[in-house]
Structure 1
């Protein structure tokens, strides 16, 4: 496997009335994950990228981390470093953001 972990950030935009991850900082989250991984030298083994709809619109912005398949909801820019340190580096999901 090329990457040990893969982070997908929903950047999808839909017509109202649904909340959309794209308009709720989706691309800013992608860039924050990429920057955080690069700063730590982890971008070689962990990839972060935008994704289409993750079907968690009511809990967006949403993120999923593979291979674990852990879905996060209501992710903010302030949460990115915690997800990187706790989950991507420490293998411990950030429980307060996990979508059950």
Structure 2
């Protein structure tokens, strides 16, 4: 059995060479927002959901991005509304948000 039911990685990478980076789109702020929602819903911790920063996930050109394991589901997001939708559909109800998948 896995330690966490779901593990969510947000690319919060900031490249220094001018190439697109997820952090160019407030990825850290969005990660913090989702982490707060997960904790507020009582879903955080062992057997629940873990929200982490990640270095470059090598998809910054499609970013900002996050990936949810063990489902291996990749999402692009732009707004808190997108994060809300991922939280409500995928995290709480185990349904993918097709329009945000990459």
Cα RMSD after superposing both structures: 1.2
Structure 1: 4+ residue segments shifted above 4 A: none
1:1-100 superposed matches below 5 A: 1-44=2-45, 45-99=48-102
- In structure 2, stretches of 5+ residues that fail to align are none
Q: Do 1:75 and 1:97's aligned partners in 2 also have CA atoms closer than 8 Å?
A: no
Q: Do 2:25 and 2:78's aligned partners in 1 also have CA atoms closer than 8 Å?
A: no
**Aligned-partner Cα distance in 2 for 1:78–1:49:** 20
Report the TM-score, using the length of structure 2 for normalisation.
0.89
- In structure 1, stretches of 5+ residues that fail to align are none
Report the TM-score, using the length of structure 1 for normalisation.
0.91
Number of equivalences: 99
Q: Do 2:65 and 2:74's aligned partners in 1 also have CA atoms closer than 8 Å?
A: yes
